[in-house]
Every structure is written in structure tokens, then in C-alpha cells.
Amino acid sequence: MKASIVAAAALLSSVGAAPPPPHPPPPPPPVLSLRLPTPSQPGPLASGPPQAESQLGTDELADVGLRNLRLFLDAQRVNTKNVGPPGPKDAKKCTLENAAVRREWSALSEKEKKEYIAAVQCLAEKPSKTPSELAPGAKSRYDDFVATHINQTLSIHGTGNFLTWHRYFTWAYEQALRNECGYKGYQPYYNWPKWAEDPRKSPLFDGSDTSISGDGEFIAGRNNTCIPSPDACGISLPPGNGGGCLKSGPFKDFKVNLGPVVPVSANIPPNPQPDGLGYNPRCLSRDISLNASQGWTRDSSVVHLLKENPVYLDFATNMQGNFPEGFLGVHTGGHFTIGADPGGDLFASPGDPAFYFHHAMIDRSYWTWQNLDVENRMFALGGTLTVGNNPPSRNTTLDDVLNLGFVGVPEVQIRDAVDTLAGPFCYVYA
């Protein structure tokens, strides 16, 4: 990535701006049509007592989507049962019965939480595989993921591959934790609506030894944060009660080595390289924002996103936000719930372990949206190859490649990353 900070900020001002309507993507493979069950309809997954009336609408839609997916897959099996005898590959086929289940952090036991935390800390101690000439600041395997995200930011946001690229990226991180650091579980998610009123009260950010640490030390006298940049202030967020280095919890002494590229506050030391890939060791800071969480990640916001955007391009665009119109969206709202450094820097944000919980929830939302209309949404695509189609570029296709640099996974096509029960994946969400 050779874009200067100024040029990057200018481009990012159009991340949430809706690009011109794309030409239709290549037709998806033929799939069966199935009518969406309503939340009250019993299905193969319905068991136990009725859902509590207080259940989040976001979670209810996830349940409906999973039930719909179950019915869809059952119908496919009936439709193909006479194709022929099962082959060797069928024994390893991913199904809803053998798929991994990603859960909300609050659903994990104390032991499971500590095992996850230890695996992240382990990854940060293993040597980097990214060539030093590409990212001299990458010192660990954890940094390999940050370097890849920095290097590709301008081709994976406001683009047609945004959701599938980040799905693959989050999965690759999960696999590194499992395969390189002995973690036995799967990537948890942070359910924004559940904790929107005050994220600091969530088990993820309460600062305990089973959290990923909480807020940063309070720094007084800070200005509002302008999004996407001070030169293009589409949205102004007031500072929270943190802003400084983490003050408690397992990641209190965690080091950030890369970035910033587009810093959100004046107290962040600049990177020695304009691309943010130079070595710049510093503490991990946060500024947990109730303004962002309460304003943009409430249950009603997520439900509206899932129910009122049947077209892929609208769904992905509104998820990321429309900054010129003052609309932050759940994606950017989630990032600025975390805030500070590197959480508030779109490029270097994976430098905070909270990134992967946030993007697991982004993926859960995408997964839910797909499952609400499997026939029309599983292979749905929209958008181009450039941020907000600036400069103008061709439409993204299912044949386009997802490359994750040196994080340790092979290239795949977008068509291999649209289904969490196919391609390299085998997981669902609780």
C-alpha cells in the first residue's frame, strides 16, 4: 500500500457512500426455493421452552435464519437422495450436525475464556512470517494479520469483497489460534445489541482477568473524533472516559507494533513509514464510546439492517455506513465503540484483539442475512473493486480471489467464502 495518509483519508470518506448501481453479478448456482418460516413456526431446530419475550430481535432473526437453513438443507438432501451412493468425500462433508459453533463471549466458561486469552497472547509471541522488507514493523504472528489488513485496507472496504474477505480473515485468525497456539475452541463474537447500553459492563470489556481488558486510562482535554478524518468530518463523536493505555486485565501490557495510518487522536505516536508498516511499539489504548454503541449498535439498528436491506449492495453499504450523510452504521459504530489506538484506525484496527470479536459479529450478521433468504442471498454480490468505486472499477465477481498475504492460508475465490458450511469453512453461530 503506497497511499499517503491524506490520500487514504480522502478515499475513506467515500467508504459508506453508495456507489453507482453495479451490473448484475454472475448468476449463482441453482438452488432450491424455500419459503422463510416466521419466528413462531416450529422447525427442526425448535426445541426446549418457547423463546423469552425479552429475546433480542437480532438473535431472534439469527434463530429464524438457522431454522430456515436447516429446512433448506433438508430439502436439498431429499432432492438429491437418488443421485448415487455416497463417496469418500461425503464422510468429511460439513453439516449442521458437525459444524463448529461460534458463541458470544458471555456464553463461554471461565476456563474457555482464559484459554482463548492465552492463545492470543501466544500468537503475539510467535515470530512473524511477513517479509521484513514488506512490513518491518511486523514482529509476531499476531502482527502478520495486522500487516495484511493495513496493506489491503483500500481494496477490502467499501468494495464488493468486504464481507467475504473479512469472513475469511477472521476464520484464518481462528485457525492460527487453534493450529499454532493449541486453542480448542472457536472465535467468539461480541453481540453489540446485548451490551449497547454500556459495553464496559460486558464480560468482554469489564477489565477482569476473563475479559480482553476494558477501557483505557482517562485522558482529559481531547477533541471530538471526526469520521472518517479531521479533513472530512462527516460524523463527530465526543470523547469517552478513556483514550489512554489499558488500565487493567490480561492485555494491559499488550504491545501494538504497526500503524497508525489514519490516527483518530493527537496523542498517538506517528509511524516511521507513511504506509503504517514501520516499527512503532506502543501500548494498546481504548476509548470505549457509549455514544457509538448506543447510537449505532442497538438491537433496533441491527434488526433494521437485516430486515430492510434485501439487496446485497444495500446491506453491505448500510452496514459500513454513509459518512457524508452522517450515518455511521454498525460496522464503523462497532469499531468506534472500541476506539482509540489502534481500534479507531480503519487500517490498523486488528492490532486490538477486540477487532476479531467485532468482525465475528459482522460475520454473524452477514450469515443471518444470508439465511433469511438462502436461495437469493447465499451467492449474492454487489459492488466494485475500489473503495466506493473511487476510482471507477469493474464489478466484483464470485471468481475474484481473496488473498490474505502472509497470515498462512491459501488464496480462495469469493465463491468459496460465501457459505460457512462449504469451502474452507465449517461453522455456524449460536
What's the average model confidence in pLDDT over 252-270?
A: 93
Of the listed ranges 77-81, 88-92, 275-279, 326-330, the one predicted with least confidence: 88-92
More confident residue, 294 or 26: 294
Model confidence band, residue 152 (pLDDT cutoffs 50, 70, 90): very high
Q: Is the pLDDT of residue 92 over 80?
A: no
pLDDT of residue 266: 79
- Tens-place pLDDT, residues 352-406: 999 999 999 999 999 999 999 999 999 999 999 999 999 999 999 999 999 999 9
pLDDT of residue 36: 33
Q: What contacts 400, CB < 8 A, 6 or more positions away?
A: 160, 161, 385, 413, 414
Among 109, 118, 255, 101, residue whose Cα is nearest residue 181 = 118
More confident residue, 39 or 300: 300
pLDDT of residue 305: 98
The CA–CA distances, whole Å, from 128 to 51, 282, 341 equal 46, 18, 21
pLDDT of residue 196: 98
Tell me how many degrees the CA angle 401-394-171 measures, rounded to the nearest 5.
30
What's the average model confidence in pLDDT over 166-191?
A: 98
In this prediction the pTM is 0.89
CA gap 364, 371 in Å, rounded: 10
Angle at which helices 354-371 and 312-320 cross, to 10°: 150
- Tens-place pLDDT, residues 331-358: 999 999 999 999 999 999 999 999 999 9
What's the average model confidence in pLDDT over 80-106?
A: 73
- Tens-place pLDDT, residues 19-75: 444 433 333 333 333 333 333 332 333 333 333 447 999 999 999 999 999 999 999
Q: Is the pLDDT of residue 326 over 70?
A: yes
The CA–CA distances, whole Å, from 72 to 9, 40, 425 equal 43, 18, 18
More confident residue, 100 or 25: 100
